[in-house]
Protein backbone atom coordinates (compact mmCIF):
# COMPACT_ATOMS: atom_id res chain seq x y z
CA UNK A 1 0.00 0.00 0.00
CA UNK A 2 1.33 3.39 -0.91
CA UNK A 3 0.85 6.35 1.38
CA UNK A 4 -2.34 8.16 0.55
CA UNK A 5 -0.55 11.41 -0.10
CA UNK A 6 1.72 9.94 -2.75
CA UNK A 7 0.38 8.98 -6.13
CA UNK A 8 1.72 5.82 -7.73
CA UNK A 9 3.54 7.92 -10.28
CA UNK A 10 5.35 9.90 -7.61
CA UNK A 11 6.11 6.69 -5.84
CA UNK A 12 7.71 5.20 -8.93
CA UNK A 13 9.69 8.37 -9.53
CA UNK A 14 11.05 8.57 -5.99
CA UNK A 15 11.87 4.89 -5.82
CA UNK A 16 13.64 5.11 -9.16
CA UNK A 17 15.72 8.03 -7.94
CA UNK A 18 16.81 6.00 -4.95
CA UNK A 19 17.55 2.79 -6.83
CA UNK A 20 19.30 4.50 -9.72
CA UNK A 21 21.50 6.26 -7.21
CA UNK A 22 22.22 3.22 -5.05
CA UNK A 23 22.70 0.57 -7.74
CA UNK A 24 23.17 2.55 -10.93
CA UNK A 25 20.74 2.94 -13.82
CA UNK A 26 22.00 -0.01 -15.87
CA UNK A 27 22.06 -2.33 -12.88
CA UNK A 28 18.51 -1.50 -11.79
CA UNK A 29 15.80 -3.69 -13.29
CA UNK A 30 12.21 -2.74 -13.91
CA UNK A 31 11.03 -5.73 -11.86
CA UNK A 32 13.23 -4.68 -8.97
CA UNK A 33 11.90 -1.15 -9.19
CA UNK A 34 8.32 -2.38 -9.35
CA UNK A 35 8.79 -4.63 -6.37
CA UNK A 36 10.00 -1.77 -4.19
CA UNK A 37 7.04 0.31 -5.27
CA UNK A 38 4.70 -2.55 -4.49
CA UNK A 39 3.36 -3.23 -7.98
CA UNK A 40 4.22 -5.45 -10.93
CA UNK A 41 6.72 -4.34 -13.57
CA UNK A 42 4.30 -3.84 -16.46
CA UNK A 43 2.21 -1.46 -14.35
CA UNK A 44 5.05 1.03 -14.50
CA UNK A 45 4.28 1.48 -18.17
CA UNK A 46 0.93 2.95 -17.28
CA UNK A 47 2.87 5.93 -15.92
CA UNK A 48 6.12 6.03 -17.85
CA UNK A 49 6.79 5.28 -21.48
CA UNK A 50 10.06 3.49 -20.84
CA UNK A 51 12.96 3.12 -18.45
CA UNK A 52 14.77 5.87 -20.30
CA UNK A 53 11.71 8.06 -19.92
CA UNK A 54 12.09 7.81 -16.16
CA UNK A 55 15.76 8.74 -16.29
CA UNK A 56 14.97 11.62 -18.62
CA UNK A 57 12.35 13.09 -16.33
CA UNK A 58 14.71 12.96 -13.36
CA UNK A 59 17.62 14.54 -15.22
CA UNK A 60 15.62 17.23 -16.96
CA UNK A 61 13.90 18.21 -13.75
CA UNK A 62 17.18 18.74 -11.94
CA UNK A 63 18.66 20.62 -14.89
CA UNK A 64 15.66 22.94 -14.77
CA UNK A 65 16.16 23.57 -11.08
CA UNK A 66 19.78 24.52 -11.61
CA UNK A 67 18.85 27.00 -14.32
CA UNK A 68 16.04 28.48 -12.29
CA UNK A 69 18.26 28.96 -9.25
CA UNK A 70 20.93 30.66 -11.32
CA UNK A 71 18.52 33.01 -13.06
CA UNK A 72 17.16 34.20 -9.75
CA UNK A 73 20.70 35.06 -8.66
CA UNK A 74 21.86 36.53 -11.93
CA UNK A 75 19.08 39.11 -11.99
CA UNK A 76 20.28 40.93 -8.90
CA UNK A 77 23.25 42.96 -10.06
CA UNK A 78 26.22 42.36 -7.84
CA UNK A 79 29.97 42.21 -8.06
CA UNK A 80 31.33 39.08 -9.74
CA UNK A 81 32.64 37.86 -6.40
CA UNK A 82 29.29 38.21 -4.69
CA UNK A 83 27.51 36.78 -7.68
CA UNK A 84 29.80 33.77 -7.73
CA UNK A 85 29.28 33.17 -4.04
CA UNK A 86 25.50 33.28 -4.48
CA UNK A 87 25.65 31.00 -7.50
CA UNK A 88 27.75 28.47 -5.61
CA UNK A 89 25.38 28.50 -2.68
CA UNK A 90 22.37 28.26 -4.97
CA UNK A 91 23.88 25.30 -6.77
CA UNK A 92 24.59 23.50 -3.52
CA UNK A 93 21.07 24.24 -2.31
CA UNK A 94 19.53 22.54 -5.34
CA UNK A 95 21.63 19.47 -4.63
CA UNK A 96 20.74 19.56 -0.94
CA UNK A 97 17.05 19.64 -1.75
CA UNK A 98 17.30 16.78 -4.26
CA UNK A 99 19.88 14.42 -2.85
CA UNK A 100 18.91 11.31 -4.72
CA UNK A 101 17.86 12.91 -7.99
CA UNK A 102 20.95 15.06 -8.23
CA UNK A 103 23.19 12.07 -7.70
CA UNK A 104 21.42 10.35 -10.60
CA UNK A 105 21.77 13.55 -12.60
CA UNK A 106 25.55 13.57 -12.11
CA UNK A 107 26.29 9.89 -12.58
CA UNK A 108 23.67 8.37 -14.83
CA UNK A 109 23.09 11.02 -17.49
CA UNK A 110 25.36 9.04 -19.82
CA UNK A 111 22.59 6.46 -20.20
CA UNK A 112 20.18 8.97 -21.69
CA UNK A 113 19.19 8.04 -25.21
CA UNK A 114 19.28 10.42 -28.12
CA UNK A 115 18.14 13.08 -28.69
CA UNK A 116 17.97 13.73 -24.97
CA UNK A 117 21.65 13.01 -24.43
CA UNK A 118 22.73 15.73 -26.84
CA UNK A 119 20.25 18.17 -25.35
CA UNK A 120 21.47 17.36 -21.88
CA UNK A 121 25.11 18.00 -22.76
CA UNK A 122 24.19 21.30 -24.38
CA UNK A 123 22.26 22.44 -21.33
CA UNK A 124 25.08 21.52 -19.00
CA UNK A 125 27.61 23.38 -21.12
CA UNK A 126 25.42 26.47 -21.15
CA UNK A 127 24.99 26.34 -17.40
CA UNK A 128 28.70 25.98 -16.76
CA UNK A 129 29.34 28.79 -19.21
CA UNK A 130 27.39 31.08 -16.90
CA UNK A 131 29.90 30.40 -14.16
CA UNK A 132 32.82 30.82 -16.53
CA UNK A 133 31.48 34.22 -17.55
CA UNK A 134 31.28 35.40 -13.97
CA UNK A 135 34.82 34.25 -13.29
CA UNK A 136 36.14 35.94 -16.42
CA UNK A 137 34.46 39.16 -15.41
CA UNK A 138 35.90 38.83 -11.94
CA UNK A 139 39.39 38.47 -13.34
CA UNK A 140 38.87 41.43 -15.67
CA UNK A 141 37.71 43.60 -12.81
CA UNK A 142 40.67 42.52 -10.75
CA UNK A 143 38.57 40.94 -8.03
CA UNK A 144 39.91 37.49 -8.83
CA UNK A 145 43.50 36.57 -9.56
CA UNK A 146 44.38 35.64 -13.09
CA UNK A 147 44.30 31.86 -13.28
CA UNK A 148 43.15 29.36 -15.89
CA UNK A 149 39.39 29.85 -16.08
CA UNK A 150 38.78 26.37 -17.39
CA UNK A 151 40.69 24.74 -14.56
CA UNK A 152 38.97 26.88 -11.98
CA UNK A 153 35.46 26.28 -13.27
CA UNK A 154 36.24 22.60 -13.42
CA UNK A 155 37.51 22.56 -9.85
CA UNK A 156 34.49 24.42 -8.56
CA UNK A 157 31.99 22.10 -10.19
CA UNK A 158 33.91 19.03 -9.13
CA UNK A 159 33.67 20.12 -5.53
CA UNK A 160 30.06 21.29 -5.70
CA UNK A 161 28.75 18.31 -7.60
CA UNK A 162 30.04 15.88 -5.02
CA UNK A 163 28.31 17.53 -2.07
CA UNK A 164 25.37 15.12 -2.24
CA UNK A 165 27.84 12.61 -0.87
CA UNK A 166 28.47 14.69 2.24
CA UNK A 167 24.93 14.14 3.46
CA UNK A 168 25.43 10.40 3.49
CA UNK A 169 27.85 10.54 6.41
CA UNK A 170 26.14 8.90 9.31
CA UNK A 171 28.87 9.70 11.80
CA UNK A 172 28.46 11.92 14.82
CA UNK A 173 30.02 14.94 13.15
CA UNK A 174 27.23 15.71 10.76
CA UNK A 175 27.56 18.86 8.70
CA UNK A 176 24.54 21.09 8.14
CA UNK A 177 23.46 22.38 4.76
CA UNK A 178 24.56 25.89 5.65
CA UNK A 179 27.93 24.71 6.88
CA UNK A 180 28.50 22.93 3.60
CA UNK A 181 27.39 25.83 1.43
CA UNK A 182 29.22 28.53 3.40
CA UNK A 183 32.34 26.49 4.08
CA UNK A 184 32.80 25.44 0.50
CA UNK A 185 32.06 28.89 -0.88
CA UNK A 186 34.59 30.38 1.54
CA UNK A 187 37.27 27.88 0.69
CA UNK A 188 36.90 28.26 -3.06
CA UNK A 189 36.55 32.03 -3.08
CA UNK A 190 39.52 32.51 -0.81
CA UNK A 191 41.54 30.43 -3.26
CA UNK A 192 40.38 32.62 -6.12
CA UNK A 193 40.61 36.09 -4.67
CA UNK A 194 43.30 38.50 -5.61
Partner DNA sequence: TTGCGAAACAAACAAGTGTTAGTTAAGCAT
Partner DNA sequence: ATGCTTAACTAACACTTGTTTGTTTCGCAA
What does the binding site for its own copies look like in residue numbers (CB under 8 A)? 23-24, 26-27, 107, 110-111, 147-148, 150-152, 154-155, 158-159, 161-163, 165-166, 169, 173, 175, 179-180, 183-184, 186-192
| Binding site residues, DNA, CB under 7 A | 1-2, 4-5, 8-9, 28-32, 34, 39-43, 45-47, 50-52
Residues present in the chain in total = 194
Give least dist CB 162 to its own copies, A: 4
Q: For its own copies, which is the closer residue by CB, 45 or 154?
A: 154
Residues β-bridged to residue 49: none
Dist CA 158 CA 173 (whole Å): 23
3-class DSSP state of 4: coil
From its own copies, DNA, none, which one binds at residue 71 (CB under 5 to 8 Å depending on kind)?
A: none
114: left (phi over 0), alpha (psi -120 to 50) or beta: beta
Bridge partners of 144, per DSSP, are 193
Q: Which is nearer to DNA, 29 or 191 (CB)?
A: 29
Report DSSP letters for 102-158, one per residue.
HHHHHHHGGGPPTTHHHHHHHHHHHHHHHHHHHHHHHHHTTSB----HHHHHHHHHH
Q: Which of DNA, its own copies, none does 183 bind, CB closer than 5 to 8 A by kind?
A: its own copies
Residue 150 binding target from DNA, its own copies, none, CB below 5 to 8 Å by type: its own copies
Pick the closer one to DNA by CB: 46 or 118: 46
Amino acid sequence: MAAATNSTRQNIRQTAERLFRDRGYAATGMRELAKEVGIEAPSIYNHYKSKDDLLREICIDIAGQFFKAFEAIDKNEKSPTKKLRSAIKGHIAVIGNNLEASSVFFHEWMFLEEPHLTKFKKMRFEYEQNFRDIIDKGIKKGELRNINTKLVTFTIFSALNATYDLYLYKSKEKISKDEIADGMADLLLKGLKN
